Structure 1
């Protein structure tokens, strides 16, 4: 019976989660294409201001992570995401209508605020529907909305920009989120107990299975206690550094590629999609083996280390060998995305349900700050140095440190669990 329920959950819920996060990612990441294709020129935006606009999203994204996760856990992820879909779709489309740079500042910041609750709310939602042995893969299919969206977005956005210009690209790519909000509301249930497609016995059996997983986790009273724990502090710092590399890469890859000789915007779109093909493959492989072995750390830090090395070698080769540098960027991009599923499976396994959502939100909010720093500093370094070498070094160093912190954080969690087991035994 449990096997039948498992199939139903994967078929019903994972495509919904994937599409929802995919639309969120579309409406935050297409700014890089707009900036590279006329938006900056039409609104008379300097390179420094463009970097700030590109990163301003993440400043807004930082503020409402924890309140969003708390609302999703205590009340309703379904309701929160419904209104978020509508608001971010409207804001994203409004980007294509503005003629004033001040309004663009407001929209980018507001878009970050609206989307800030989506990732932690979706992680909370999935934790209500998937067990420990499934969680890395469930998280991965959610976060696949990130590279998979960039994969098709780079191609679609390239053609929209080439045929209709940047304004129509923003308008067209914001509308699907509003439509999807009503589909989401119709077909999603917050928890198994709310699902009409499960029998009462199936609901009880599955809830009992989730409760059993909580038995081996030491109780934590509140968010304050959880946030002060060493593993959460280290994972927050780790995700901050990791996100510097990821979003510096995402925001500026189109500009890096377009700088190559005789490179059109359509060719830029196609080439920018290649790292995300590798990302999808590596994310699926890493999450599968992480769930199979229940080893999270081993499928996080090695990938980040490889990404750091690829960035550094790309820097060492220099800009004179574009295609070799491009292959290394593909490797860096792919390996940076690979560990997301295993990474977000760590917290629900070391903290109880009453605080795990908030802890994931805190970590994700620190990632937002890292994203802000990454997209802004990489843009600043590109403008200040007139090239991309300095930003490669910056991203490589950040990824290297994040790999070290991953090992430290997981070891701290194991030590904390051992101490807790000793106390409980005493």
Structure 2
């Protein structure tokens, strides 16, 4: 009897869960490595005598490299497999993370952040391809939501860890330390992952049957969706709709994420450790939101946009009340509400993207969408830095910009046609 219970318990844990756990770690350290600079920024600015526009460029230059190599990185993952591309990418960016702490020149720091961005650009497409490879369609929304919790936990942990390390050792040491774990993870992926689930020694017949069933369902529909080329994908309106949604959403996301610590320090007068704590709170709340968004989206297959639209609007309203609030308590409350709704919307959005694209070109397609977000990530921190400088240190105009961007993203999402409950949103070649 005990042997049967043990056997049943072992069967519950599937290879795809282990794959997702490692993908989650990759995303976590990608966010830790890119986000610690937001906490370190006031100290870097003081150390190198930088104004807010120069600081904004330091935040934005990462996204120049990130955007430039998004699509090529996705194409490489589709051609050579997500395992090779992801392992090389994480080792690459981890090395440049550590080297950042050794630089004393502003121009050289800009170059390093750009090259760092080139490495991280390969991760999104490879990671989404990993999910599409190991997870059946019915679980991709939930898997994407779980993976996307790093969008919340990454900045939260970065805020707390960076504040503690900077307080003890200075801003340079935080970069040197953060680069080490990624190298170890990259080596693990190279030796332990398989691009084809059938080659994985621990895959069960049950798991393979679920994936095969997914392939059969795909082939039954009007035309083989697995045969869609990236060139054909570029002709599909839904790809450009999703790319534009993500562009405007990321105008807000990266503006909020990049400048929140400086807002709390300069506008609200918080100490370094208080800033680390209060900067982390909205992302901890957002962790719940992003998982919930992916889960709800799996229950609304064919109408996933209705997870995104109302929550994007609610997030914009919370941002409005945040910059209008006079007391610190209300500022913290509204920033947490804004994060909850925005991340709930994000969980629903990426579930829609992953369910819409054929597995064969998943990395290229998701990289195309994420590329637009990367362009927004370049524009938003730099533009906000300039707006703060010309307004004499006020954050009001930049908050208004973020609210408008969320509203535009919601309007574009309204134009996506649903396919009815229970039906996949996947792109139909014949349409």
User: Would you say 1:208 and 2:215 are equivalent positions?
Assistant: no
TM-score (norm 1): 0.91
How far, CA to CA, are the matches of 2:375 and 2:136 in structure 1? 30
Q: 2:311 aligns with which of 291, 303, 309?
A: 303
Listed as ranges, the matches of 1:393-404 within 5 Å are: 393-404=400-411
RMSD (CA atoms): 2.7
Q: 2:272 aligns with which of 247, 258, 265?
A: 265
Listed as ranges, the matches of 1:141-220 within 5 Å are: 141-199=146-204, 201-202=205-206, 204-215=208-219, 216=221, 218=223, 219=225
**After alignment, is 335-344 or 357-366 more displaced?**
335-344
User: Would you say 1:288 and 2:292 are equivalent positions?
Assistant: no
How far, CA to CA, are the matches of 1:188 and 1:235 in structure 2? 30
Secondary structure at the counterpart of residue 409 of structure 1: coil
How far, CA to CA, are the matches of 1:243 and 1:7 in structure 2? 35
Listed as ranges, the matches of 1:10-409 within 5 Å are: 10-36=16-42, 38-199=43-204, 201-202=205-206, 204-215=208-219, 216=221, 218=223, 219=225, 221-294=228-301, 295-315=303-323, 317=324, 320-385=326-391, 386-409=393-416
Q: Structure 1 residues 206, 300: CA separation in 2 closer, same or farther (over 3 Å shift)?
A: same
Deviation at 1:207, TM superposition (A): 3.7
Deviation at 1:261, TM superposition (A): 5.0
How far, CA to CA, are the matches of 1:42 and 1:102 in structure 2? 14
Q: Structure 1 residues 313, 44: CA separation in 2 closer, same or farther (over 3 Å shift)?
A: same
Q: Structure 1 residues 348, 170: CA separation in 2 closer, same or farther (over 3 Å shift)?
A: closer
Q: Structure 1 residues 403, 419: CA separation in 2 closer, same or farther (over 3 Å shift)?
A: closer
Contact 2:358/2:427 (CA < 8 Å) preserved in 1? no
How far, CA to CA, are the matches of 2:65 and 2:382 in structure 1? 14
Secondary structure at the counterpart of residue 128 of structure 1: helix
Deviation at 1:119, TM superposition (A): 0.8
Deviation at 1:418, TM superposition (A): 12
How far, CA to CA, are the matches of 2:79 and 2:319 in structure 1? 42
Q: Structure 1 residues 99, 116: CA separation in 2 closer, same or farther (over 3 Å shift)?
A: same
How far, CA to CA, are the matches of 1:175 and 1:360 in structure 2? 28
How far, CA to CA, are the matches of 2:31 and 2:11 in structure 1? 30
Deviation at 1:125, TM superposition (A): 0.8
TM-score (norm 2): 0.90
Q: Structure 1 residues 346, 212: CA separation in 2 closer, same or farther (over 3 Å shift)?
A: farther
1:139-195 per-position Cα deviation (integer Å, ceiling 9, x unaligned): 112111221122222111111011100001111111111122122223322221121
Contact 2:129/2:359 (CA < 8 Å) preserved in 1? no
Deviation at 1:104, TM superposition (A): 0.4
Deviation at 1:361, TM superposition (A): 1.0
Q: Structure 1 residues 293, 400: CA separation in 2 closer, same or farther (over 3 Å shift)?
A: same
Structure 2's unaligned 5+ residue stretches are 1-6
Which residue does the alignment assign to 2:4?
A: none
Structure 1's unaligned 5+ residue stretches are none
Deviation at 1:9, TM superposition (A): 3.0
1:347-400 per-position Cα deviation (integer Å, ceiling 9, x unaligned): 343343333432211110001011111211122212221211111100000001
How far, CA to CA, are the matches of 1:419 and 1:173 in structure 2? 39
